[in-house]
């Protein structure tokens, strides 16, 4: 079962925080969930304080951003340090069983919750939500199931809230620390995207590039992959077949031009994988991996299929696996 949608909060206000908090508490404390002890910690130490104080992070006692260290699949001590990462964590671990089509709907749900939550928190919405998942033998097999009651794994994560300041650098640094603790190769500075932008004369131009600067959202730790990749680092480095799919939060929450359809509201009613992917294509929601994410994949020897590219280029939607 996947968590129900938040579509009931169609008209969101900052007074919605108690409603969101109540539902997330219920989601985290389900007794039959083997991950409930970690979900409760995430709720008590990240989600609830963020909603209460209208911030996307929690101040630690030493003045830095507070992190909660929990197991996340193959990473036994992942630091979760912001609201949107915490939200992705609980949506991942509160899902007992889901088909691949349901996973995409859950990713859409994540995009909606990011928009709703960002308004309540008074913060910019993350630009992208992302999912890393085991590639099954066949996506068309209805018996293929993901979730904590099954063997196939998936991880949800988002980019850091767009902008500078307000704890964003600390959140990125926390993500980078978790990534570097398990990653087989060192990170390069400036990042690959920063190098590409500088070569094109974008950003700092002739001046030296500040390694931690947010240059079009490209420092290490900014992308959702900086959370999802370390959560499945053993699968990546061993070359196990994985897939990734990233969606634009804005595209998923906006009316498709020339229609009265908003993708996040339409997705729950789409049954077939063909209709789901057609919706993502028409909405312009598919987002391929950036150069930073490709660098991580390639240097680790990973076999990660970018489904955003695959679906965008596919003309025959009858074979999407």
Cβ atoms within 10 Å of 139's Cβ, excluding its own: 17
* Angle (CA) 291 292 294, round 5°: 60
Supply 235's token pair: 């699968």
Q: What is the pLDDT of residue 183?
A: 94
Average pLDDT value for residue range 294-301: 94
pLDDT of 200 above 80? no
Percent of the chain with pLDDT over 70: 85
Q: What is the pLDDT of residue 14?
A: 55
Q: What is the pLDDT of residue 314?
A: 74
Q: What is the pLDDT of residue 90?
A: 94
C-alpha to C-alpha distance for 232 and 74, rounded to whole angstroms: 5
Give pLDDT tens digits for 17-46: 888 888 899 888 876 889 999 999 999 999
Tell me the pLDDT band of 317, cut-offs 50, 70 and 90. Answer: very low
Whether the pTM exceeds 0.75: the reply is yes
Tell me the pLDDT band of 267, cut-offs 50, 70 and 90. Answer: very high
Average pLDDT value for residue range 60-67: 87
pLDDT of 2 above 70? no
Coil, strand or helix: which one is 278? helix
Cα distances (Å, whole numbers) of residue 224 to 117, 159, 255 = 17, 5, 24
Tell me the pLDDT band of 3, cut-offs 50, 70 and 90. Answer: low
Q: What is the pLDDT of residue 13?
A: 52
Tell me the pLDDT band of 4, cut-offs 50, 70 and 90. Answer: low
C-alpha to C-alpha distance for 85 and 87, rounded to whole angstroms: 5
Contact 115, 5 (CB under 8 A): no
Quote the distance between the C-alpha of residue 39 and its chain's center: 17
C-alpha to C-alpha distance for 111 and 6, rounded to whole angstroms: 11
24 against 165, higher pLDDT: 24
**Domain spans of the chain, in order of start:** 100-313
Tell me the pLDDT band of 188, cut-offs 50, 70 and 90. Answer: very high
244 against 166, higher pLDDT: 244
Average pLDDT value for residue range 178-187: 93
Query: Taking all residues of the chain, what is their mean pLDDT, rounded to a whole number?
Result: 86
Contact 167, 221 (CB under 8 A): no
Give pLDDT tens digits for 143-155: 678 998 888 999 9
Residue 158 host element (H or E) = strand 154-158
Quote the distance between the C-alpha of residue 71 and its chain's center: 17
Q: What is the pLDDT of residue 83?
A: 97
Average pLDDT value for residue range 228-256: 96
């Amino acid at each position: 079962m996947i968590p129900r949608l938040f579509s009931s909060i169609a008209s969101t206000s900052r007074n919605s925080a108690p409603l969101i908090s109540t539902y997330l508490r219920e989601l985290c404390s389900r007794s039959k969930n083997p991950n409930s002890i970690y979900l409760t910690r995430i709720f008590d130490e990240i989600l609830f304080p963020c909603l209460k104080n209208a911030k996307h992070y929690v101040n630690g006692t030493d003045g830095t951003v507070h992190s909660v260290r929990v197991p996340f699949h193959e990473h036994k001590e992942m630091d979760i340090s912001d609201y949107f990462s915490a939200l992705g964590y609980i949506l991942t671990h509160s899902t007992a069983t889901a088909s691949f089509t349901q996973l995409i709907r859950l990713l859409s749900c994540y995009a909606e919750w990011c928009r709703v939550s960002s308004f309540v928190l008074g913060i910019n919405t993350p630009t992208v939500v992302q999912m890393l998942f085991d590639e099954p033998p066949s996506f068309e097999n209805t018996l293929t199931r993901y979730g904590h009651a099954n063997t196939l794994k998936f991880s949800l994560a988002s980019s850091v809230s767009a902008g500078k300041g307000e704890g964003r650098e600390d959140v990125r640094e926390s993500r980078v620390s978790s990534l570097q603790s398990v990653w087989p190769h060192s990170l390069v500075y400036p990042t690959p995207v920063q190098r590409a932008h500088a070569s094109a004369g974008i950003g700092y131009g002739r001046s030296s590039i500040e390694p931690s600067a947010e240059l079009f959202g490209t420092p290490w730790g900014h992308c959702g992959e900086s959370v999802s990749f370390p959560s499945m680092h053993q699968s990546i480095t061993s070359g196990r077949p994985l897939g990734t799919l990233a969606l634009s939060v804005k595209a998923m929450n906006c009316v498709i031009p020339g229609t009265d359809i908003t993708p996040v509201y339409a997705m729950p009613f789409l049954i077939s994988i063909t209709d789901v992917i057609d919706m993502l294509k028409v909405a312009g929601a598919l987002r391929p991996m950036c150069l930073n994410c490709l660098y991580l994949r390639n240097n680790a020897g990973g076999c990660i299929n970018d489904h955003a590219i695959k679906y965008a280029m596919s003309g025959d939607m009858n074979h999407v696996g």
